[in-house]
Amino acid sequence: MMDRDDPGAFCAHGRITVDGAPDGPLAGLTFAVKDLFDVAGVPTGAGNPDWLRTHPVPARTAPAVQALLDAGARLTGKTHTDELAWSLAGENAHYGTPVNPAAPGRIPGGSSSGSAAAVAGGAVAFAPGTDTGGSVRLPASYCGVYGLRPGHGRIPVDGVVPLAPSFDTVGWFARDAATLRRVGTVLLPGPPAPRPARLLIAADAFAIAGEAVTAALADAVARVAALFGSAEPVTLAPEGPDALVSIFRTLQAAEAWAVHGAWITATRPSFGPGVAERFAGAATIDPAAADAAARQRAAVRARLDDLLGGDAVVVLPTAPGIAPRRGASGPEVEANRNRSLALLCPAGLAGLPQVSIPAATADGCPLGLSLMASRGADAALLDLAAQLGDSA
């Protein structure tokens, strides 16, 4: 188990304890929050010392965090994030890399790196993170835990440092499906979820991940298929994965600069490798290119809505492989980022919910399997994850 005081997961400025309500649906559970979430009286650092230095201490707790406290959970700290959440690796040039308890010596994934590591190591029962381009789903796969990216707009992002608002979501990690669903009863309240009727297998996504990952996940895919009785192969990106990644990266960069460009220009913050280059590129995005990408995104969204039809679930690999080793070269990191985005960006572009389930191992390291559902079917995904957990 990871030590609660391990500086690899928790922020030095976020070592706090906030008791929740004396009772409620989450009573007895502890949680930590990614250092993008405001907690009243505690600095929000967003993974960057210059952000920490130039922003006031928040006076109000983010509504999503307050809902968890009101439901009886106890907050035990704030966890590290990549700078302004713009990375999938979890390696922060200023604060270091959280330990991946499931694969020591390998990255935990980002940008919700500390939250995933804290859950995987047993420091807390669950931990909220954010997912813009995969920042809950990818760390969940790398660290061998459950992670939900809810549908866009399902959970309020007030009091959360943004990156790309049309993609940003509040998700969370847990070691078991029952806890994941228990948190969902608070953050995603509503009537019982209807069970999806159809299972689709994303053939192009498995092709991107390759034969080794496909073989490792085969038993888990068979368990999912057994719940439905049959499955149909489909193609998520008939235009090709590179086209979807290009749409996503153009829109994300344009939004990130719109949100943070003025602060960056005025403050000239120190960014680590990768993040610095991404913000420099974001400053040069042509508005016409962003407009074209927005139109393309609308077509992707319509196609995926039609494919799912309101009653289907798509199964696909969460990641193109196990967690890379820490300290990989810049070109290696970028190549893995692009392959990962090819699997992660469909849900982001369409604003759909997706859950990553710890489904297999390869070379002794975790591999996640994802289920993506139609708009509004977040609770159905949590129910399916629980069913699969029970059948494992």
**78 catalytic residue (yes or no):** no
Maximal C-alpha separation, the chain: 58
Here the tokens at position 180 are 């994941």
Of the residues 87, 112, 115, 135, which is catalytic? Answer: 135
Give the DSSP H/E element, type plus range, for residue 30.
strand 30-34
Of the candidates 353, 356, 342, 362, the one whose C-alpha atom is nearest the C-alpha of residue 206 is 342
Q: Are 134 and 337 in contact (CB under 8 A)?
A: no
Of the candidates 282, 298, 81, the one whose C-alpha atom is nearest the C-alpha of residue 164 is 282
Burial class (CB in 10 A: 0-12, 13-18, 19+), 9: buried
Q: Are 102 and 144 in contact (CB under 8 A)?
A: yes
Residue 67 has phi, psi (to 5 degrees) of -60, -40
Of the residues 78, 87, 111, 370, which is catalytic? Answer: 111
Q: Are 291 and 340 in contact (CB under 8 A)?
A: no
**112 catalytic residue (yes or no):** no
Of the residues 34, 87, 115, 374, which is catalytic? Answer: 34
Q: Which residues does 273 contact at the CB level (< 8 Å), separation at least 6?
A: 93, 330
Q: Are 217 and 188 in contact (CB under 8 A)?
A: no
The CA-based dihedral angle spanning residues 256, 259, 263, 266, taken in that order and rounded to the nearest 10 degrees: 90
What residues act catalytically?
34, 111, 135
